[in-house]
Structure 1
Amino acid sequence: MNNPFIELGIRHDIVNAISELGFEKPTPIQEASIPVLLSGSNDFVGLAQTGTGKTAAFGLPLLELIDFEENHPQALVLCPTRELCLQIASDLTKFAKNIPNAKVVAVYGGASIMDQLRSIKRGVQIVVATPGRMLDIIGRKAIDFSDIRYVVLDEADEMLNMGFQDDIDEILSTTPEEKKTWLFSATMPSEVRRIAKKYMTDPHELTMGKQNTGNANIEHEYYIVRARDKYAAFKRIVDFNPDIFGIVFCRTKIETQEIAEALIKDGYNADSLHGDLSQQQRDKVMKRYRERSLQLLIATDVAARGIDVNDVTHVINYSLPDEIENYTHRSGRTARAGKTGVSIAIINSKEVGKIRQIERVIGKQFIKAEVPTGFDVCEKQLFSIIHKVHNVTVNDSQIEQYIPRIMDEFADLSKEDLIKRFASIEFNRFLEYYKNAPDLNATEDRRDGAGDRFARTGTRGDFTRLFINLGSVDGFSRGDLLGYICNTTKISGRTVGKIDVKGVYSFFEVQNSDSDQVFNSFQNAEFKGRPVRIEISGETRNETRGGASNSYNRREGGNRRDGDRSGRREGGSGNRDRNSGGGGFRDFSGKRREDRTERRKNY
């Protein structure tokens, strides 16, 4: 009986290579796209969810169509992040291991450009690249794309979301008009539709499942908690799943780092992955995660793109993403290759509207779950220990010599006493930690501390709402402002609450205990030559703090309910969905582009 991939038109030496990698039968996207792409006669748009095998869907036809006797670039694969770049290059190299003279080069930021230039100079047929570094190499006139026959835009939606439109235009302008362009994406926003129209001629379009929908094998859950209880609830959810092997998504680099550090301090096998890490640090973290030395990987959206790790059991949204499309990409890290997984969102009561928006887009309903009680966690951990003891593999030859001493040690214990002691080794730790553990669940109609007192005084429970005379016109996003506040005041980002960036001013919350430190730190602060002013929102502090103009107090006065911090993008206040029930997602097209120099440094 012929291998199914041979039936699709893939030759034996490639099929032998992928069989060794565990490819037994094509996934739906591979089965539908490979015959079309092998014809080499059409531009192509393929829409399929993350984890469905898109790399092989375009990679196997590329290996069939390229002439490996020629030692010059014939195919260019563009992707958004270095992790994905390395993953694609690694996969293509493995697929082509039985093809003589096959050369694949990965080109990405954060690594030596001289090494990459040398690899290109030695000869290459397939270049896999991130846009920023590819432009640098083109600018050095170190590569000739005049004979490029195929261009693949992988994760096209994310490349556009990251602001790479101009870079893509510039790169593709160096390639021949008669090339074939293949575009693969998990979602199809209007920007991706426009890029297909711009670069393609009558493309063959293939959609696996409904556009923008989530993987059918993923179960979606959400937990409603108070803001101050989020970390405690997160740990309780992790403890309730003893065998969790998950990715935890945060919105900012600072939050990612701080959550990882807190988890490590609390005894969890965790580490962070974000854009400020060097390539060597990122490789080290990913090596530990793939080897399962890490149980939890705490990551930003950008850093996690391209992570292709098997058997991820849970994706946890510690903070909801700014874009609905990003939720689809996040949840797609689990339930890969036909397996099942769970995607969890930890939200406050104002974010329920966003959950409803996501449900409409992905076509699946979330399950409202309850944060487990301390008793529930202890019970779950106890039986996890029992199952491990029952199923442990015993090395009789090695342990035999110690059995007499072990039996002597336990001679005074009954079977029941022995079982109790083994079960209590870990169980006692959880009993102590969760003793008198409070209920962390919040109700959907809870106002999460907001109300008239907030409006009158600018305080909300343990937080003080502050005005600052810096905003989006000064180049600040929420993430930028958070970093600026923390760097200036030396307070932890975890103690900063909601941030609301306006045009020429902003509001942010800090814990009451930190308010004096914030005022003192900003006493003589300047930004680009002008004084930075801080005051409590809704109160005039000019006489003691040198606060901002009263016109801002009259305009805002702390009386407007604070917009949910997670309902806005870092690029500004954005458009709100007024029917979303508390903070909508900003339209995809409004994404503020990152500074090109900064992008090229990493991508």
Structure 2
Amino acid sequence: MTEEDAAPIDAPSTPGFEDLGITGAVLKAIKDLGYETPSPIQAATIPTLLAGRDVVGMAQTGTGKTAAFALPVLERLDVSQKIPQALVLAPTRELALQVCEAFESYASRMKGVHVLPVYGGQGYGVQLSALRRGVHVIVGTPGRIMDHLAKGTLDLSELKYLVLDEADEMLKMGFAEDVEQILAQTPTEKQVALFSATMPPTIRRLAQQYLRDPEEITIKSKTATNKNITQRYLIVSYAQKVDALTRILEVENFDGMIVFVRTKNETETLAEKLRARGYSAAAINGDVPQVQRERSVNQLKAAKLDILVATDVAARGLDVERISHVVNFDIPTDTESYVHRIGRTGRAGRTGDAISFITPRERYLLKHIERATRQEPTQMQLPTTDDVNSTRLARFDDAITAALGEASRIEAFRDIIAHYVRNHDVPESDVAAALAVVAQGDDPLLLDPNNDALSRAVDFDNRPQRERSGGRDNREPREPRAERRGKGDYAPYRIEVGRRHRVEPRQIVGALANEGGLGRDDFGAINIRPDFSIVELPSNLDPAVLEKLRDTRVSGRLIEIKPDRGPRGGGGRRDGGDRFERRDRDDRPRRDRDDRPRHDRDERSPRDGAEQPFRKPRHKK
């Protein structure tokens, strides 16, 4: 929740957090964050959890559930015991990181509290080191939690609190079996809180089996947003976000802008990438000193800065008239955060634009946003190369027109140009073109419409999921084997998971891509047999990659990958498998869709071939 959503402090009928039982360092921390009045889910849930009773919470995303379970956990945490006392299961990596960040914020006034996010795609080493040092709260996705339990690297024997966040989404994504196995490996005497936006029979059965006489709490969200704000969204995978944002910045007519990301580190990373592309951008986050934050905000107000890259906390209370656009680079799963973010524009009767980047697996959040804001966001299309080129040519024209207005400087250069034309016998038009080349530098002025990999990738992300995941009904015709060989030589590998384990090609691809760092072009045919599957991978696969993949799990089973020896070695026919259709890693399968691509290969620096925006030629005075 935010200050803007809180009820007036002097409302006598509304209890404060101290009235709910929150005390000491935890109370000080939430006051620091600007929390004054509990949201309905917090007011109803916190006293029940502090009393030690299990809870089933029915509430939409964005009603303040995280604080509802995090504050009671921190209030009763035994910091002296450096063993996992609380486990929060979340369906996606993004939500796990967001919950983890919330725990850290609420524990900012406590000494020695350690919170660890555990998710696939991140190296085991970081997680193992943290577990050895001692962790109080673990926030993780079911798949990676299962892996740690199987390896014996995670001890839940002393667990006191277990939270299932977005339980319905977890089950929709195929984590039902993993969740039940995790629950079965926790102590009988523990407190369980289950939060879900809906209550399908599977959730009801889960609650009846694993919760003890829970209190059921139902809250309906009443969030709405400013009608002056135009809401749009773009379906784009994580790997294409920076380039997609660059295109939008080139074509969109914006004044000042805030770009929201999820973590402090990402504010610095994205701001640096935008500066490398020629934009005046700065990062603000909770670690930025107040003096520097105020300087950046004042620069934005004075038009000396165009873009602020910010986290939710850093942008709280920010009101700059010049902000015409808000971009959700990372879409929040909390709709209250979404409303707070886009409320930075369209203030005091002004109009504003909000653009949200939605990865293919985050489409479900659109319904949450629509319900919370009572507006249906409009899907936008990525600007084409023609759109970008038209904008660049117009700006180039403007730059020439502006230069022609400096009569005294133009006069001085006329004699120099005339001298060159006389001595080199070159037409003046060619000299003008050469000067334009000098001014533009090494980056081409116009994009090549025939080499638009970004548009192709975004178009793919917007295709129906069945097409992107290799479904039989909608996928493109399978390429002839000979043609596929031309794109890269493949070798067959056998994995010990098949049709009877209810595995699909997209699950296999996601798991291998996440754990082995494989790309889209590293997969050939996938042939799923009853008890095993054959996957074509590069014939020159690095042994180190193969070693990483040995501990990979699909549908909760170790895949035990090894080179396939053909029929004699137990392999099946490989001439008619389910062809994996090229797609981005952000469209993750059920088991591993919580894993985000690694940053070190997500983005390209300008020198690596990323699109460069038009830069107005600079004239030295």
When normalised by structure 2's length, the TM-score is 0.45
When normalised by structure 1's length, the TM-score is 0.46
